[in-house]
A and B are shown apart, each in its own frame.
Chain A
Amino acid sequence: MGRSTRSRIPAKDGVRDDPASAYDMTHADEGVEQRTLACIVDNEPGVLARVVGLFAARGYNIESLTVAEIDRNAHQSRITIVTSGTNHVLEQIEQQLLRLVPVARVIDVTNSTGGIERELALVKVAGVGEKRVESLRISEIFRAHVIDTTNESFIFELTGASQKIDQFVELMRPLGLVEVSRTGVLSIQRGKDKAG
């Protein structure tokens, strides 16, 4: 479970959607892949804006982003970003992040051994009768918790890899899915050592 499956989406017509420069034609035939990066940053004002601004300015994708302080005394936060691009672009993203002064280190969670990714989702499903029973049954299979209920609805709390949540949401759709709230991906490394 440490490494989630990655889809390799071939570039359209052999041309990358967002070439890094008008002259850049050498990496056009590379496939696009998804990658999860964790940045350990100094928790100072504006640090999130720097990271997000870098992605916006250089045209990199953000598929999900989570951020919170992880060590109050050391003023450190961990930002986990799920991004996608060709291998060349992903390498650049890592190096460009490291250029930011408050970024202490960047961990490639996808390609490191023992990288774990988890997401939490809150899923609201409304319905009565057989559909209601079915949704509850499926939630047990996914080890979701019911955190709120009315006669006509449930809210399920579910953690797991993003794909597991995607799957659960798809199964709930015909059973009366109302809305979903997700945290985005969190990451950590297996084993006794601290990250980096």
Chain B
Amino acid sequence: MDGNSTMDTATTQQLTGAEIVLRALADQGVDTIFGYPGGAVLPIYDAIYAQQQVRHILVRHEQGAGHMAEGYARSTGRCGVALATSGPGATNMVTPLADALMDSIPMVVFTGQVPTHLIGSDAFQEADTVGITRACTKHNYLVRDVNDLARIIHEAFYVATTGRPGPVLVDIPKSVQFAKGNYVGPKAIEHRTYHPRTEPQDKRIEEAVAMMAGAQRPIIYQGGGVINSGPAASEALRALAKATGWPVTSTLMGLGAFPASDPQWLGMVGMHGSFESNNAMHDCDVMLCVGARFDDRVTGRLDAFAPNSKKIHIDIDPSSINKNVRVDVPVVADCGKALAAINKEWKRKVSRKPDLSGWWKQIDVWRARKGFAYPNSKTLIKPQHAIERLYALTRDKDVYITTEVGQHQMWAAQFFHFDKPNRWMTSGGLGTMGYGLPAAIGVQAAHPNALVIDIAGDASVQMTMQEMSCAIQHDLPVKIFILNNEWMGMVRQWQQLLHGERYSHSYSDALPDFVKLAEAYGCHGIRCDDPAKLDDAILEMINTPKPVLFDCRVEKAENCFPMIPSGAAHNEMILGNITGDEISEAGKMLV
């Protein structure tokens, strides 16, 4: 392997399987992979050693490699790539694969496998990787013949990045890595059975616009699909909002596709979304759902979900349509293409902007309730205040935010605001604690000069915090901003509200001294528990040119509001200070 991809990629040449992997990566335009070596991938590591084109970032646990690839992918719009060995390396990769599948993140994962003649013999570090990962990948492959390897890798990238994106795994036995075979380049891939539909049907667009034109109380409910579709989709969304004057809300995954600074922005929808967006969803008469999937965290109680509305649903995955909620106009297409078509049709059909002043007046009434208001404190740092200060002090920076999962994640979604897509990386569907720190490293690897902050909780961050070592080794100066309340906050909140204040195993006893821990890893550690010193401490974090771990000691018993309790409807939102009686017995059964 000479790492020279300027050769004619169409010509066939003999390379080892390991060389084919690196050559294919280079030809796919991959500049960074995240991985961890082991017996069954040593030939690939030899090939990595012999080239300069693809940078390898050594992680501390394979789960970290997967989440880094996700963060890389989500922040760039390109495919993330991770590499792990057989057996435990592959099983450690299962969580990020499941995470990427739920959140539709394009990712190609390579795993080593025992030599083909040992497969099925319970060999050392053997696991049925394709069997284990079948349910948590969009597709996977076990490569049995080195002559299939190049084609399969190119196909894997094609499947991962087209249609509804997702993770694809390629399992390569060690014997195939050693064997010599033909390399083929990434010619135009024509898959035999896989043909995602991306162009909307004209008829559906006409139906959608006809329905939209008559709307009195409309809303755009937008999701991560708009971000996955690329920057053009976000632009088309903004243009549509401008042309129609419609209010816009978003799922957790879709934050940033529409600017939070726009007056038509209602804030996030769903369980911990804004009061105005949830009430607008409930009362709307026409809903345009773009690249979102009516997840249970968004809809709440289904039989009371937007009960008097007609619904238009744009999704690239036909199985998302009518899955949880029946819709009136299904549009199976790429979000960007469908939005562009709707914009065009709207211009053609609708002569002037509809008068929605009555609807906006109602929305302003809901806004005036100030659902995100919280009593601030002069003695204790409120977690909401910490995020607000973090946002205020980073506004002029090129900033990317990742999160772990829990209360801090919801506060980040509520109080940190995004005007651009690809700036917000969070584990939405799977809800993976431990996602944020490795994801931040992946983002930083793609954007070396940006300010990358993992807004973390003290419990979540401990799940993958060994990756601080990775950040130090590769000079990736991520900032880990821990809202430390010494609890698994969301678990504690649910136990308080739903389980009679029985705080079973949710207190983080024996927390480490995070500042000393940071120093032990070679990071800079900061601790702050005084609201008066918070700004200076945040500025110190921002201005430190290396990885920083910020132990932000916050109010311990703060709950995350507003909240739609499980089993309740959008207009039954709780604004704060509740006792638990508001939640029905049936609701307590739900997750």
Chain A interfacial positions (CB closer than 8 Å to B):
20-26, 41-42, 45-46, 49-50, 53, 57, 75, 88, 91-92, 95-96, 98-99, 101-104
Contact = CB atoms under 8 A, between A and B. Distances in A.
Interface string B174-207: 0000000000000000011110000000000000
Given A95-B318, A96-B319, A98-B318, A24 B324 contact: yes
A41 B159 CA distance: 17
A102 B194 CA distance: 7
A109 to B, nearest CB: 19
Interface stretch (B35-43, B130-138, B388-396): B130-138
Contacts of B318: 95, 98
A49 B296 CA distance: 29
Given A46-B130, A53-B135, A99-B317, A88 B322 contact: yes
20 contacts: A20-B324, A21-B296, A21-B324, A22-B589, A23-B299, A23-B300, A23-B302, A24-B324, A25-B302, A42-B193, A46-B130, A46-B142, A49-B131, A53-B134, A57-B135, A95-B318, A95-B319, A95-B321, A98-B319, A103-B193
Contacts of A42: 192-193
Interface in B254-304: 296, 299-303
Nearest to B320: A95
A69 B403 CA distance: 48
Interface string B487-498: 000000000000
Contacts of A95: 318-319, 321, 323
Contacts of B193: 41-42, 101-104
Contact of A23 (B192, B194, B296, B319): B296
Nearest to A95: B319
B420 interface: no
B591 A22 contact: yes
A134 to B, nearest CB: 50
Contacts of B323: 20, 92, 95
Contacts of A24: 302, 324
Interface in B148-167: 159
Contact of B322 (A21, A75, A91, A103): A91
B317 A50 contact: no
Interface of B: 130-131, 134-135, 138-139, 142, 159, 191-194, 296, 299-303, 317-319, 321-326, 567, 589-591
A50 B140 CA distance: 10
A98 B138 CA distance: 12
Contacts of A46: 130-131, 134, 142
A104 B191 CA distance: 10
Contacts of A25: 301-303
Contacts of A45: 142
A92 B319 CA distance: 6
A22 B590 contact: yes
Main secondary structure on A side of the interface with B: mixed
A103 B139 CA distance: 11
Given A88-B322, A95-B318, A102-B193, A23 B131 contact: no
A57 B137 CA distance: 13
Nearest to B193: A104
A3 B49 CA distance: 63
A42 B135 CA distance: 18
Contacts of A101: 138-139, 159, 191, 193-194
4 A-B pairs closest in CB distance = A95-B319, A104-B193, A101-B139, A23-B296
A132 B452 CA distance: 83
Contacts of B296: 21-23
A23 to B, nearest CB: 4
Given A23-B302, A91-B322, 17 more contacts: A22-B589, A23-B299, A23-B300, A23-B301, A23-B567, A26-B302, A45-B142, A46-B130, A49-B134, A53-B135, A75-B192, A95-B319, A95-B321, A95-B323, A98-B319, A101-B194, A104-B193
A31 B138 CA distance: 32
Contacts of A22: 296, 589-591
Contacts of A104: 192-193
A105 to B, nearest CB: 8
B155 to A, nearest CB: 9
Contacts of B567: 23
Contacts of B302: 23-26
Contacts of B303: 25-26
Contacts of A57: 135
Contact of B319 (A26, A41, A50, A99): A99
Nearest to A93: B319
A196 to B, nearest CB: 11
A50 B192 contact: no
Nearest to B322: A91
Nearest to B297: A23
B321 to A, nearest CB: 8
A22 B215 CA distance: 32
Nearest to B142: A45
B323 to A, nearest CB: 6
A19 B156 CA distance: 34
A151 B135 CA distance: 52
A128 to B, nearest CB: 49
Contacts of B326: 26
Nearest to A22: B590
B171 to A, nearest CB: 11
Nearest to A101: B139
A22 B591 CA distance: 8
A164 to B, nearest CB: 34
Nearest to A45: B142
Contacts of A23: 296, 299-302, 324, 567, 590
A75 B319 CA distance: 26
Contacts of A21: 296, 324
A88 B322 CA distance: 8
A22 B302 CA distance: 10
A43 to B, nearest CB: 11
